[in-house]
Amino acid sequence: MAKFDDTVTFHRSQDSGPHRAIVFLHGGAWIDATNTPHDFDKLAEHLVRLNQSEPEFSLYAVEYRLSPEVKHPAHLLDVIDNLAQLIRKEQVDELNLFGHSVGATLVWQLLTCSPALSSDLETIRSKVNRCYLADGIFSLVDMLKEYPTYDYFVSQAFTKVKDYDDPEDLTLQISSNIKLHILHSYEDELLSLRQSNYLCKVLQAHQQPYQTYYDVLGKHNDVYESLKVAEYIMYTMMY
C-alpha cells in the first residue's frame, strides 16, 4: 500500500480558522512512474505567490501505487487511505481535491464508489467542498472507442474494462453541496474534449450542478503547471 510518508506538503496554512486544504492527485495512466506528487510543484508555487506567500489553505499531494504491480481498485484504496490519514494527522476541516488525468478519474471514483469499499469514505466525503477534474478519463468504454491503442495501459490497470463503472451506470452519490469543476485544455494532445463532455452530459442527466473551465491551457502535461489553472482555483475558492 502507498504510504502516508509519500504525501507531499507544499504549504501548511498558519490561519487560525478552520483548516482548509487543497490536495492534488497526479495522473500517468495508472502506470507511469514519472508522474508523481511533485507534478504539482509549479501549480503550488503559483497558488502561494497569488496569495502573497500566505494562503489561507494548505497544499498537499497524495500518492498511490501503480500498475502492473497492482490493479483496480488498489489505486483508489491507496488514495482513500492516504486522504484519511492526512485528514486525521493534519486535522483538516475542509478538503478540496484537484485531480489531473487519471488523478481526476480517481477523484470521480472517490465521490461515486460504493461506501462499502472503505470505512473511511464517509469521513472523507463529509470534508469535501470542491473537486477540480482536469483533463480526466471518465469512461473507459468510450475512451477505447476513440483511442483503441490506449488498451495498453487500461489492460495493465484493470482485469476487465467492466470493472470500471462508467458514470452513466452509476447511481450518483455526490452531495449537491460539493462543487464540481470540470477543466480541459483545448490543446490537450492525449485526450480530446470527448471525455469531459461525456461527464458533463451525465451530470446534466442527473441534474447535478457543476462548472466548466475550457481554455487554452497547454498540452496534457502542461495543465498541472498552468498559471491560468491556479488563477481559476483561486477565484473559485473564494465562493
What's the mean per-residue pLDDT of the chain? 94
Confidence at residue 225, expressed as pLDDT on a 0 to 100 scale: 98
Q: Which of 67, 118, 188, 226 is catalytic?
A: 188
Does residue 26 have an active-site annotation?
no
pLDDT bin (cut points 50, 70, 90) of residue 64 is very high
The CATH number for 123's domain is: 3.40.50.1820
Whether 212 has a pLDDT exceeding 80, the answer reads yes
Q: Return the pLDDT at 3.
A: 56
Q: What is the C-alpha separation between 104 and 85, in angstroms, rounded?
A: 20
pLDDT in tens, 140-196: 999 999 999 999 999 999 999 988 887 876 656 688 889 999 999 999 999 999 999
Contacts with 226 (C-beta within 8 Å, 6 or more apart), sequence order: 43, 185, 217, 218
Query: Is residue 175 flagged as an active site residue?
Result: no
Alpha helices of the chain — where are they, by DSSP H? 41-50, 74-90, 102-112, 121-127, 140-146, 151-157, 194-205, 227-237
Is the pLDDT at 133 greater than 80, yes or no?
A: yes
Q: Please identify which of the residues 120, 196, 220, 226 carries the catalytic annotation.
A: 220
pLDDT computed for residue 146 by the predictor: 98
Positive or negative: CA dihedral 140, 145, 147, 151: positive
The pairing of beta strand 8-11 with beta strand 58-62? antiparallel
The three-state secondary structure class of 3 is coil
In terms of residue numbers, what domain contains 65? Answer: 4-237
Grouping H, G, I as helix, E, B as strand and the rest as coil, residue 4 is helix
Whole-model pTM?
A: 0.96
Mean of the pLDDT values across residues 191-205? 95
Residue 81's alpha-carbon distances to 52, 72, 103, in angstroms, are: 32, 15, 15
- The structural domain count of the chain equals 1
pLDDT reported for residue 15: 86
Q: Is 220 a catalytic residue?
A: yes
Catalytic residue among 13, 58, 67, 101: 101
Q: What is the pLDDT of residue 176?
A: 80
